[in-house]
Amino acid sequence: MSFNHQKIDAKWQQRWESEKVFEAADNSSKPKQYLLVEFPYPSGAGLHVGHPRSYTAIDVIARKRRMEGYNVLFPMGWDAFGLPAEAYAIKTGIHPAITTKQNIETFRRQLKSIGFSFDWSREVDTTDPKYYRWTQWMFNQFFKAGLAYKAKAMINWCPKDKIGLANEEVVGGACERCGTPVEKKEKEQWLIAITKYADRLLADLDTVDYLPKIKKQQQDWIGKSEGAEIEFGLVGIPGQDDGKHKVKVFTTRPDTIDGTTFVVISPETAKTWIDVGWQASSEVRAYVDSALAREDMDRTAEGKEKTGVDTGIKAINPFNQEQIAVWVADYVLGHYGTGAIMAVPQHDDRDREFATSFGLPIVDRPLIAFDDAVLKVGGVKTTKYKLRDWVFSRQRYWGEPIPLVHCEKDGWVAVPDDQLPVELPNVEKYEPTDNGESPLSTIESFVNTTCPTCGGPAKRETDTMPNWAGSSWYFLRYADPHNSQEFASKSALESWMPVDLYNGGMEHTTLHLLYSRFWHKFLFDQGLVPTSEPYLRRHSHGLIMSEDGTKMSKSKGNVVNPDEVVAEFGADCFRAYLLFMGPFEEPVPWSKQGLTGIHRFLDKLDRLSEKLPTSSTADDQHTHALHQLVERVSQAIENFKFNTAIADLMKFLNSAHSGLSISDWSILLRLVNPFAPHLTNEIAERLGLLEGQTCLESLSWPIARQEFLVKTESTIVIQINGKLRANLVAPTSTAEETLVATAKQLPEVAKYLTGEIKRTVVVPGKLINFVI
Ligand code: ANZ
């Protein structure tokens, strides 16, 4: 090993810190760029190699942007409420605040050792009362706007431990701690009405630039269905056969109603009927009980054998007056649509499977127009969503206390702003109580308070918020982290928001990403933030697997420790390897050999620089290749093709030998700097290439000189009405008509080219805009 990475890493990290090189300026004439990565949960296990993969990628972009002249905000903080700290406290009695503080220190040290260009002066910690004061304040805005409400909701209940479990504590249907099968239990919970925003959360996806797979997951999760509710009359109900009863179904296909051969009600619906006097058979009762104990996921899994029972009740098809059977079956869910369906085996796969299993009729009938069908049967057109309201309470200690007080006279009252935060009191036991209440409920001095409205005796809410609360708005706090009067000043928000690029895991697409978009839209409606979407662009990284391709896990002992990699190979090698290991969006296995390959590359850069420079005049061939390299690497970074950028750098170095002039070196070092910031600075300083600055980061990003670029291909931007829809890469010699014709065929373009094309604007080699 030739260069002393330990010395070099420490030297440049200290210099960046003392010179405050990465601090974002609040008042700057430069254009802003807000780059965000998901802040970690500071677990006791320390940083996982998955974290720095995402952070290095966005760090490379942040470093490039600064050199391009942007005022960059690239912050870091801690999403520090959560179950592991609490589980540890239950085991050891050590307060979660203490372990959290220690874990944060470890994470901070680890992140700093990798040389990320975070603005550490803006660090936030969701468990800091100065922070969660605003999380509570925002909850109160939801409450005051009527969007937070209390209702019965199902929770996971461990009958042995007698506690409510979070979804992540239920493993294969059993309690993670003791293995007892988990039951469902109804409990009063706080919910937030995210469903009121379903339409906007869906529609506004058109205004942001997210990876297509991210948009798709959000759309599916919101699950908008346009259909109709239609009533079927019921006859033959044991104990209630008065001809007055009806069942309402939800269908997206009223046009198929003529082919309905039976009706299916959900076990939940059956239960409510039984509760109001239906004398159901014992077979029906037994089926309903067993179905209700099962998870929806399990009930509706594809390929699962269909189960159900004939209720003996008959329904009358309002379209053709045919009498058909009513079944109860678990593939129909209680809390979607109306909890009952009209089954059309001719057109619906699940219905056909069910009909085949139970010998029910399948008929072949012509379709009718959607609207005609709805009209004829007196149905009502409706829109349904899969999205449910957000269950916002947990019976846990380590979370933000929900800042509400209950008074006999005034009901639920928000704790006034000047009494926030409602701080977590000290407890002795961190377990939920035997009846599933939060441990806060046992602390009388916390629970008993006075009503802010009438001054009479009142009781505090003892539930705490879910893990997703603090992360729903943290990016706003980074804009103005030390403000004690507001969560952030208007001017800070106006200068930084929206986030220009946000990278995070695919596992957060449907929860965190959706919650934070919703939260932000609500704040926007309240006039508290300047934009209705928080993130302009969302990208995502693939997971890092172990060398054998399986998931890294502590129990398998195959977890890679970033500290060891940094100690052995240095921060630059770790960083460049994380980006070189494979396409950024895809899962990739860790490889020690790959790490050695990168080390050889950095070593070569160092050795070459020691031999050089020999002359100050440029060698044409190298200069030529170097400028093409600048172009390719710059493009690759913009397109998240970090692995090909590094491959290109390696290729260049292999052919460069000793022909580089000092000005070529200046370009090369700046180009490699975002990937290997420590070594490139060290070499630049040695070669006298810092141009009077203290580090490379203060110099500008190299620009490829056009005369050195022989262009064989160009990337053409395809717009519709001025809006970017696609990019087309084509040989520069392609004829204009061919380009236009090809552009029209692109799926992303064709989708929007619905109307007549009024005009086609072509800027050769750059852009095609269809005006429709
Ligand atoms: C008749 C029909 C015929 C249907 C056909 C579909 C196809 P999405 O798109 O997911 O909203 N459905 C309604 N409520 C249900 C529930 N609670 N549990 C399970 N299935 C339910 O699907 C709506 C369709 O799913 C509805 O339209 C209904 O079946 C079924 F050729 O009605 B359809």
**Cα 195 to averaged position of ligand 1 atoms, centre (Å):** 20
**pLDDT attached to residue 553:** 79
**pLDDT attached to residue 410:** 97
**pLDDT attached to residue 655:** 84
Ligand 1 atom 29 nearest Cα: 251
Place of tokens 């049967």: 377
Q: Is 348's C-beta closer than 6 angstroms to any atom of ligand 1? A: yes
Angle subtended at Cα 484 by Cα 483 and Cα 486, rounded to the nearest 5 degrees: 75
**Cα 223 to averaged position of ligand 1 atoms, centre (Å):** 12
**How far apart, in whole angstroms, are the C-alpha atoms of residue 484 and residue 647?**
48
**How far apart, in whole angstroms, are the C-alpha atoms of residue 396 and residue 165?**
10
Place of tokens 């006034």: 416
Kind plus residue range of the DSSP H or E element containing 192 = strand 183-192
**How far apart, in whole angstroms, are the C-alpha atoms of residue 265 and residue 271?**
10
Question: What's the mean pLDDT in 49-73?
Answer: 97
Mutation to probe ligand 1, out of 247, 248, 251, 385 (largest number of atoms < 8 A from CB): 251
Cβ 37 vs Cβ 584: under 8 Å = no
Q: Is 250's C-beta closer than 6 angstroms to any atom of ligand 1? A: yes
Neighbours of 3 (CB within 10 A): 21
Mutation to probe ligand 1, out of 247, 250, 365 (largest number of atoms < 8 A from CB): 250
Residue 150 has pLDDT above 70, yes or no: yes
Share of residues in the chain with pLDDT > 70 (%)? 97
Neighbours of 302 (CB within 10 A): 6
Helix, strand, coil shares of the chain, percent, nearest 5, are 40, 20, 40
**pLDDT attached to residue 23:** 98
Q: Which range, of 62-71, 75-84, 177-186, 475-484, averages the lowest pLDDT? A: 177-186
**pLDDT attached to residue 311:** 97
**pLDDT attached to residue 622:** 76
Question: What's the mean pLDDT in 721-727?
Answer: 92
Residue with the bigger pLDDT between 6 and 712: it is: 6
Residue 161 has pLDDT above 80, yes or no: no
Ligand 1 atom 19 nearest Cα: 332
Helical spans, DSSP H, in 559-711: 562-569, 571-580, 592-611, 620-638, 642-656, 662-672, 677-686
Distance of CA 379 to the CA centre of its chain: 38
Q: Provide the β-strand partners of residue 499.
A: 535
pLDDT digits (tens, 9 = 90+) for 623-655: 788 999 999 999 999 999 999 999 999 999 988
Peptide bond preceding 562: is omega within 30 degrees of 0, i.e. cis? no
**Cα 351 to averaged position of ligand 1 atoms, centre (Å):** 9
Q: pLDDT-derived band of residue 242, with 50, 70 and 90 as boundaries?
A: confident
**pLDDT attached to residue 521:** 98
Residue with the bigger pLDDT between 284 and 615: it is: 284
Q: Provide the β-strand partners of residue 501.
A: 35
pLDDT digits (tens, 9 = 90+) for 5-40: 999 999 999 999 999 999 999 989 999 999 999 999
Dihedral over alpha carbons 466, 469, 471, 473 (to 10 degrees): 180
Residue 228 has pLDDT above 60, yes or no: yes
Place of tokens 């550490």: 120
Ligand 1 atom 18 nearest Cα: 332
Q: Is 260's C-beta closer than 6 angstroms to any atom of ligand 1? A: no
**pLDDT attached to residue 83:** 84
Cβ 49 vs Cβ 566: under 8 Å = no
**How far apart, in whole angstroms, are the C-alpha atoms of residue 141 and residue 21?**
38
Neighbours of 357 (CB within 10 A): 13
Cβ 284 vs Cβ 309: under 8 Å = yes
Q: Which string of DSSP letters, residue by residue, matches 480-533?
A: STT-SSSSS-HHHHHHHPSBSEEEEEGGGTTTHHHHHHHHHHHHHHTT-SS-S-
The 3-state DSSP class for residue 257 equals helix
Ligand 1 atom 11 nearest Cα: 225
Q: pLDDT-derived band of residue 240, with 50, 70 and 90 as boundaries?
A: confident
**How far apart, in whole angstroms, are the C-alpha atoms of residue 126 and residue 124?**
7
Residue 620 has pLDDT above 70, yes or no: no
Ligand 1 atom closest to Cα of residue 331: 19
Ligand 1 atom 10 nearest Cα: 225
Average pLDDT, the chain: 93
The 3-state DSSP class for residue 770 equals strand
Kind plus residue range of the DSSP H or E element containing 273 = helix 267-275
**pLDDT attached to residue 618:** 54
Q: pLDDT-derived band of residue 712, with 50, 70 and 90 as boundaries?
A: low
Q: Which amino acid is at 643?
A: N
**Cα 391 to averaged position of ligand 1 atoms, centre (Å):** 25
Kind plus residue range of the DSSP H or E element containing 390 = strand 390-391
**pLDDT attached to residue 686:** 95
**Cα 330 to averaged position of ligand 1 atoms, centre (Å):** 14
Q: Which range, of 128-132, 533-537, 719-723, averages the lowest pLDDT? A: 719-723
**pLDDT attached to residue 255:** 97
Instruction: Rank 240-249, 641-650, 698-707 by mean pLDDT and report only the highest.
Output: 641-650
Residue 769 has pLDDT above 70, yes or no: yes
**Cα 509 to averaged position of ligand 1 atoms, centre (Å):** 25
Task: Write the CA distances from 496 to 21, 32, 123, 316, 359, integer angstroms.
Answer: 19, 7, 16, 61, 63
Mutation to probe ligand 1, out of 219, 253, 264 (largest number of atoms < 8 A from CB): 253
- Give the residue from 751, 756, 758, 601 showing the smallest Cα distance to 676: 601
Place of tokens 């260069």: 3
Q: Is 340's C-beta closer than 6 angstroms to any atom of ligand 1? A: no
Mutation to probe ligand 1, out of 261, 348, 354 (largest number of atoms < 8 A from CB): 348
Share of residues in the chain with pLDDT > 90 (%)? 76
Instruction: Rank 65-79, 279-293, 540-554, 653-667 by mean pLDDT and report only the highest.
Output: 65-79
Residues constituting the chain: 772
**Cα 324 to averaged position of ligand 1 atoms, centre (Å):** 18
Question: What's the mean pLDDT in 499-521?
Answer: 96
Place of tokens 């299916």: 264
Q: pLDDT-derived band of residue 753, with 50, 70 and 90 as boundaries?
A: confident
| Residue 205: DSSP 8-state | G
Peptide bond preceding 421: is omega within 30 degrees of 0, i.e. cis? yes
Q: Is 32's C-beta closer than 6 angstroms to any atom of ligand 1? A: no
Q: Is 253's C-beta closer than 6 angstroms to any atom of ligand 1? A: yes
**pLDDT attached to residue 558:** 86
Cβ 558 vs Cβ 552: under 8 Å = yes
Ligand 1 atom closest to Cα of residue 346: 31
Question: What's the mean pLDDT in 119-133?
Answer: 98
Provide the token pair at 122. 């803006």
Kind plus residue range of the DSSP H or E element containing 407 = strand 404-407
**How far apart, in whole angstroms, are the C-alpha atoms of residue 756 and residue 749?**
13
Q: pLDDT-derived band of residue 616, with 50, 70 and 90 as boundaries?
A: low
**Cα 250 to averaged position of ligand 1 atoms, centre (Å):** 7
Mutation to probe ligand 1, out of 229, 231, 252, 382 (largest number of atoms < 8 A from CB): 252
**pLDDT attached to residue 270:** 97
Residue 726 has pLDDT above 80, yes or no: yes
Strands 170-171, 340-343: pairing kind: unpaired
**How far apart, in whole angstroms, are the C-alpha atoms of residue 72 and residue 137?**
29
**Cα 279 to averaged position of ligand 1 atoms, centre (Å):** 28
Q: Which range, of 86-95, 155-164, 384-393, 430-439, averages the lowest pLDDT? A: 155-164
**How far apart, in whole angstroms, are the C-alpha atoms of residue 591 and residue 545?**
10
Q: Is 367's C-beta closer than 6 angstroms to any atom of ligand 1? A: no
